[in-house]
């Protein structure tokens, strides 16, 4: 049985099923593990995480008198919160279909990867970033997001472990622009948000590769080195001509939290700018949904649900709600089971509800066989989503099924 308990009740011998906090708050690289060493117990109780999920079928249970929350109760609470977010329709900015925009978005993605790779390699060689050369790229990404946000966002999410560092910056740029549009930003503010997203992680170019790409658990010393990348990035950008105050701010503060428990400056509340709050949400979402050298990415819908659990104290609530409305409760690329028993992949959001996207049906769980693909706009259908599904469990290549 899964139980949610406070860190003060953790004991060696428990099976830790899940840590209730951001992956940035702790040095553990495994999602689930048997807690055996006193050193790991001490780390868990001092790293800032408040609660964990344990599995009593795989380890010892809590002692009497400890208040716990069952997995079912917890999931119901999160589902209710996300349902409330879905009551107001998202600000849909798509003007053409995703199919029409995909080819342009593919070319732009390849161009973006080449440009960012070249830009960041210049940094490695000690040269300043030429902001004037990055600005046109941000403008092209912004135009693609305006035509159809999900075409480019879908492609940017499907990065590999090898090109993560570069494509993460491109993806966060696109997410910042899409989120900015949802928040009502226009003109120069929107371009600054995109540029800030593109450059937010440039400091990682100064982190040794053997630490940045380490497949195993980081030591405390290595984790501190990683946490130094915002300041290193700020120092690099500060000397670049035409750099904006917004880009410097997001670079330095995208790992801050509204409760003051982030880094490097432990800023909180009103001391954090809107752009820094946006950067925090976009950076975490793309990092969690991406395959890394030390872990596979989470599914988009699972990521939104987990981020909803952290929003108190971690993210700005208004910004997070706008982000959910930007990408959906079932973001594009999510495998879902419909109430009819058919499986489908989410392609686009609709104006009516975050719970009723456009999907592509392709498989029947009743016959356990593929079916003739069909596009369904759930906002105009009686069909509804029953649950999000794990594509690995089903063995599907969603990229091929979606046609991206």
Percent of the chain with pLDDT over 70: 88
Residue 275: which of 236, 319, 232, 312 has the closest Cα? 319
Is 366:337 a contact under the CB 8 Å cutoff? no
102 pLDDT higher than 80: yes
Q: How big is the CA angle at 305 (ends 8 and 190), to the nearest 5 degrees?
A: 115
How far apart (Å, rounded) are the C-alpha atoms in residues 142 and 120?
21
* Local confidence band at 56 (pLDDT 50, 70, 90 cut-offs): confident
* Local confidence band at 21 (pLDDT 50, 70, 90 cut-offs): low
333 versus 171: the higher-pLDDT residue is 171
Residues 6+ away with beta carbon under 8 Å from 189: 180
59 pLDDT higher than 70: yes
Within a 13 Å sphere around the CA of 179, how many CA atoms are in the beta-carbon half? Answer: 29
Strands (E), 96-234: none
Is 378:329 a contact under the CB 8 Å cutoff? no
52 pLDDT higher than 50: yes
Q: Is 14 helix (H, G, I), strand (E, B) or coil?
A: coil
How far apart (Å, rounded) are the C-alpha atoms in residues 189 and 205?
26
What's the CATH class of domain 98-327?
mainly alpha
Give the pLDDT of residue 157.
79
Q: Which of 1-5, 25-29, 64-68, 181-185 has the lowest mean pLDDT?
A: 64-68
* Local confidence band at 65 (pLDDT 50, 70, 90 cut-offs): very low
67 pLDDT higher than 60: no
398 versus 244: the higher-pLDDT residue is 244
The whole-number average pLDDT for the span 283-289 is: 94
38 versus 114: the higher-pLDDT residue is 114
Give the pLDDT of residue 224.
94
Handedness of CA 224, 225, 228, 230 (dihedral sign): negative
Percent of the chain with pLDDT over 90: 52
The whole-number average pLDDT for the span 61-70 is: 60
Most confident of 82-96, 109-123, 300-314: 109-123
Give the pLDDT of residue 345.
93
292 versus 319: the higher-pLDDT residue is 319
Query: What's the mean pLDDT when you consider all of the chain?
Result: 86
The whole-number average pLDDT for the span 25-33 is: 64
- The secondary element (H helix, E strand) that includes residue 387 is strand 385-388
Residues of the chain with CATH 1.10.3210.10: 98-327
Give the pLDDT of residue 109.
93
């Amino acid at each position: 049985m899964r139980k949610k308990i406070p860190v003060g009740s953790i004991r060696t011998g428990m099976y830790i099923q899940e840590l209730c906090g951001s992956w940035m708050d702790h040095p553990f690289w495994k999602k689930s593990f048997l807690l055996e060493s006193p050193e790991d117990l001490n780390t868990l109780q001092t790293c800032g995480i408040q609660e964990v999920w344990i599995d009593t079928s795989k380890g010892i249970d809590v002692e009497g008198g400890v208040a716990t929350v069952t997995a079912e109760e917890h999931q119901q609470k999160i589902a209710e919160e996300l349902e409330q977010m879905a009551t107001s329709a998202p600000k849909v900015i798509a003007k053409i279909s995703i199919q029409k925009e995909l080819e342009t978005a593919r070319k732009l993605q390849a161009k973006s990867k080449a440009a960012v790779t070249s830009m960041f390699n210049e940094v490695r060689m000690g040269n300043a970033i030429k902001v004037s050369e990055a600005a046109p790229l941000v403008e092209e990404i912004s135009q693609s997001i305006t035509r159809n946000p999900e075409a480019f966002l879908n492609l940017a999410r499907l990065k590999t472990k090898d090109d993560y560092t570069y494509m993460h910056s491109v993806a966060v740029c696109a997410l910042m622009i899409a989120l900015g549009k949802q928040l009502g930003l226009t003109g120069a503010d929107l371009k600054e948000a995109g540029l800030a997203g593109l450059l937010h992680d440039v400091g990682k170019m100064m982190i040794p590769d053997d630490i940045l790409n380490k497949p195993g658990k980081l030591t405390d010393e290595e984790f501190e080195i990683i946490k130094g990348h915002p300041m290193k990035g700020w120092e690099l950008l500060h000397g670049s001509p035409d750099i904006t105050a917004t880009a410097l701010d997001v670079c330095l503060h995208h790992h801050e939290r509204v409760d003051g428990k982030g880094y490097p400056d432990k800023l909180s509340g009103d001391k954090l700018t809107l752009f820094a709050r946006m950067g925090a949400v976009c950076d975490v979402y793309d990092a969690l949904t991406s395959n890394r050298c030390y872990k596979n990415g989470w599914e988009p819908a699972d990521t939104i649900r987990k981020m909803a659990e952290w929003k108190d104290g971690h993210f700005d609530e208004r910004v997070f709600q706008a982000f959910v409305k930007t990408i959906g409760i079932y973001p594009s690329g999510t495998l879902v089971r419909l109430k009819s028993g058919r499986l489908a992949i989410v392609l686009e959001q609709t104006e009516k509800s975050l719970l009723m996207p456009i999907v592509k049906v392709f498989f029947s769980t009743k016959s356990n066989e593929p079916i003739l693909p069909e596009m369904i706009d759930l906002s105009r259908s009686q069909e509804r989503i029953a649950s999000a599904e794990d594509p690995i469990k089903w063995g599907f290549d969603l990229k091929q099924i979606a046609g991206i």
